[in-house]
């Protein structure tokens, strides 16, 4: 328990770059935690994060790999919410990715990533860590951009993808109780590369419940 508390304190340590971003409809202050990006900018409602090299968030099921050092630009969400964004990734190396992340600490989180997988295909991937990672490879895409949506209603978390930001496909539905304060936001990672640039645009956030998981309203 003490280890989890210390990890949580490290993860959410204050950042000098905490601020509100003009044009981004999030009613909280966004900040990086303990792991800053290589660079980041915000303009016209978009956020661009470049991760350093060898950055990731993953705890292997066989205990062979455990890391949590990717830059995470986050805020404290409402208890129930819907967050969507267009994610554009400048893929270079295997496992480069951009993601939406919901986390209590470095041992308990949901990472919904658009990733270059181990076959070098651009893929929809979800990682649920509690405290080891359930890694699910889903849809392969030919593009370098995709629309993602994460919705939370009570302990239910829903993950959606879309090619146009209008017609949503439910990728994953899970029950994931988070009894402590959580953070929600945007991640760029480059586990084996020298860095990865990810653009999050067309960001939308609402504090509402989803009543029908198979019918995400606009």
Question: What pLDDT score was predicted for residue 21?
Answer: 59
**Do residues 170 and 149 lie in contact, with contact meaning Cβ atoms separated by under 8 Å?**
no
Residue 192 vs residues 51, 92, 100, 117: alpha-carbon distances, Å: 12, 10, 20, 12
Q: How many helices (H) and strands (E) does the chain have?
A: 1, 16
Give the integer Cα–Cα distance in Å for 135 and 140. Answer: 15
Question: What pLDDT score was predicted for residue 4?
Answer: 40
Question: What pLDDT score was predicted for residue 27?
Answer: 77
83-105 burial, b if ≥16 CB within 10 A, otherwise e? bbbbbbbebeeebbbbbbbbbbb
Match domain 2-11+37-206 to its CATH number in 3.10.20.30, 2.60.120.200, 3.30.470.30, 3.30.70.120.
Answer: 2.60.120.200
Bridge-partner residues for 58, per DSSP?
67
Query: CB-side exposure of 71: number of CA atoms within 13 Å?
Result: 26
SS3 call for 123: strand
What's the mean pLDDT when you consider all of the chain? 91
Query: CB-side exposure of 197: number of CA atoms within 13 Å?
Result: 7
Q: Is 124 exposed, middle or buried (0-12, 13-18, 19+ CB in 10 A)?
A: buried
**Helix/strand/coil percentages in the chain, nearest 5:** 5, 50, 45
* Mean pLDDT, the chain cut into blocks of 10 residues (218 residues total): 42 52 78 95 93 98 97 96 98 98 97 98 98 98 97 97 96 93 97 98 96 88
Query: Of the candidates 121, 118, 74, which has an alpha carbon nearest to the alpha carbon of residue 100?
Result: 74
Question: What pLDDT score was predicted for residue 180?
Answer: 83
Question: What pLDDT score was predicted for residue 12?
Answer: 54
User: What pLDDT digit, counting tens, does each position of 63-101 carry?
Assistant: 999 999 999 999 999 999 999 999 999 999 999 999 999
Question: What pLDDT score was predicted for residue 189?
Answer: 98
Q: Count other C-beta atoms under 10 Å from residue 32's C-beta.
A: 20
**CB contact set of 26 (below 8 Å; sequence gap of 6+):** 20, 75, 203, 205
Question: What pLDDT score was predicted for residue 18?
Answer: 55
Give the integer Cα–Cα distance in Å for 69 and 33. Answer: 10
User: What pLDDT digit, counting tens, does each position of 104-121 carry?
Assistant: 999 999 999 999 999 999
């Amino acid at each position: 328990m003490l280890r989890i508390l210390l990890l949580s304190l490290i993860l959410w340590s204050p950042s000098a770059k905490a601020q509100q971003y003009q044009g981004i409809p999030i009613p909280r202050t966004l900040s990086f935690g303990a792991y800053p990006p290589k660079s980041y900018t915000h303009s016209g409602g978009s956020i661009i994060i470049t991760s350093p090299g060898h950055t990731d968030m993953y705890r292997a099921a066989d205990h062979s790999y455990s890391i949590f050092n990717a830059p995470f630009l986050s805020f404290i969400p409402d208890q129930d919410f819907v967050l969507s964004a267009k994610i554009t990734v400048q893929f270079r190396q295997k496992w480069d990715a951009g993601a939406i992340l919901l986390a209590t600490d470095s041992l308990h989180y949901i990472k919904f990533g658009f990733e270059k997988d181990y076959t070098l295909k651009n893929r929809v991937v979800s990682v649920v860590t509690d405290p080891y990672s359930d890694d699910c490879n889903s849809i392969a895409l030919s593009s370098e951009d995709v629309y993602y949506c994460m919705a939370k209603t009570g302990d239910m978390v829903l993950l959606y993808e879309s090619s146009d930001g209008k017609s949503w496909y439910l990728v994953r539905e899970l029950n994931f109780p988070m009894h402590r304060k959580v953070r929600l936001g945007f991640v760029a990672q480059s586990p084996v590369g020298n860095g990865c640039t990810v653009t999050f645009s067309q960001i939308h956030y609402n504090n509402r419940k989803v009543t029908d998981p198979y019918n995400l309203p606009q």
